[in-house]
A and B are shown apart, each in its own frame.
Chain A
Amino acid sequence: MRDVRLPNFNELDAVEGKVCGKYNTVRSVNPYKTHFIAHYPNGKVVKGNNLFNTGWDGLKDGILLLQYKLSTGQLINIPKFKAYLSLIEVSDSIQGGRIFHSINVKGMGFNNEVINYKIILKQDNMSKYKIGDILVTKDERSIESSYWKLAAV
């Protein structure tokens, strides 16, 4: 039985999903099993929910270590920054399909520069990127958002 939130997925297990297109087949993480993990100096650990409702907006400042756990089991450590912003890149279609492309973790450096860690969440026969690949770029513009979370000092 297909998932009502992912009607275009032909298969979905705890690790991965598969979307079969006319010319291409896409493999994706399971968005229900992919989330952030925030560690705090007092030893507290906060797990995010999933990719639909990440839980990021309710996260408190003072993060000691930020990690991402993919449904494939891969655990990704984000380097230390002054602040973090986590954004999910998704596509919805008018026909009801949905695919999660990446998690964009933005880190604000100590000179206010912003580095983007793009964690790839899907792979196919045509893209050179695989699930779990990380593309690191520098954002040209500053990003104003109330959803930045400060790191522990």
Chain B
Amino acid sequence: MEPNLSFVYNTSDSDVAYTGTGENQGDWKVMKLTGGVADSFVFTGGGINSSLPTPTAPYGSREATMRPSSGSLIVPQLFIESTQDNIMRHVLLAGQNTNRYCMGVYVDGYAASDLYMEGWDDNSFSSTDLPTLSGTDSYAYSMFNVIRTTDGAPASDWTGATASGSNSGSAYLAGYDYRVKLKGSDSIEDEAVYYNIYVRLPNDAPLFHDQPVMAFRYLYV
């Protein structure tokens, strides 16, 4: 029988694990997928006003990120935008840092495999052509850096290539070939797994407003 997945995020600055079983629990919130427009990730900040208000911002707020003239820039803020709650909540701990408990997935039931986090263009789960997933001439891989933190905190300078690269503990997230195993074992049952995430914007990025999807692949009985 298929397990239920709950996508949870930490809205506090305390790096503590989720202790719920798929519901809002303390500072951990559950992303709403049904009952209307699903909650979504918003990577923002780094523009003229530097950042959006924290820990919450008005629904629909955006601080356009300024493309750097050289090198690259990590987009400084991640918000979860909830149409249903009419608010944006800042995930304070997400980013290139040593925080372990920023984002998680609670697996209610039994998954007969690891939980693989993947990035795709859309809900057809079949292509990775968006600029954020395909990269640029100077940055030839996905701008989404993801690392598994279920088994430990990442290094302060972690990137998508830190933990053995593709299909392992970290990845420049793009499709089937560049994905992250969120537990690192053959099964998951009634437990939470965790990851940290950020977007690095290269100087030759085109102007875009991409909306890729984050997907989670698994096996069940």
Q: Quick check: is A53 within 8 A (CB to CB) of the other chain?
A: yes
Given contacts A19-B123, A26-B124, contact A56 B221 (CB under 8 A): yes
Are A97 and B127 interface neighbours, CB within 8 A? no
Query: Are A90 and B7 closer than 8 Å at their CB atoms?
Result: no
Shortest C-beta distance, A49 to chain B (Å), equals: 10
User: 1/0 per residue A21-61: CB within 8 Å of B?
Assistant: 11111100000000000000000000000001110110000
Contact of A93 with B123 in the complex, beta carbons under 8 Å: yes
Interface bracket on B: 20 to 34
Q: Are A87 and B124 in contact (CB under 8 A)?
A: no
Chain A positions 99-120 with a Cβ under 8 Å from a chain B Cβ: 99, 101, 104
- Give min CB distance, A94 to chain B, whole Å: 5
A-B contact number at CB 8 A: 113
> What residues on B are CB-neighbors of A97 within 8 Å?
122-123, 125, 213, 215
Instruction: Determine if B219 is an interface residue (Cβ-Cβ < 8 Å).
Output: yes
| Shortest Cβ distance from residue B109 to the other chain A in the assembled complex, whole angstroms | 11
Query: Chain B residues with Cβ under 8 A from A124's Cβ?
Result: 124, 126
Bound together, the chains give a CA A97 to CA B124 distance in angstroms of 8
Give the most central of A7, A85, A91: most B CB within 10 Å: A91
| Complex interface: chain B residues within 8 A of A75 (CB) | none
- Chain B residue contacts of A94, Cβ below 8 A: 7, 31, 33, 38-41, 213-216
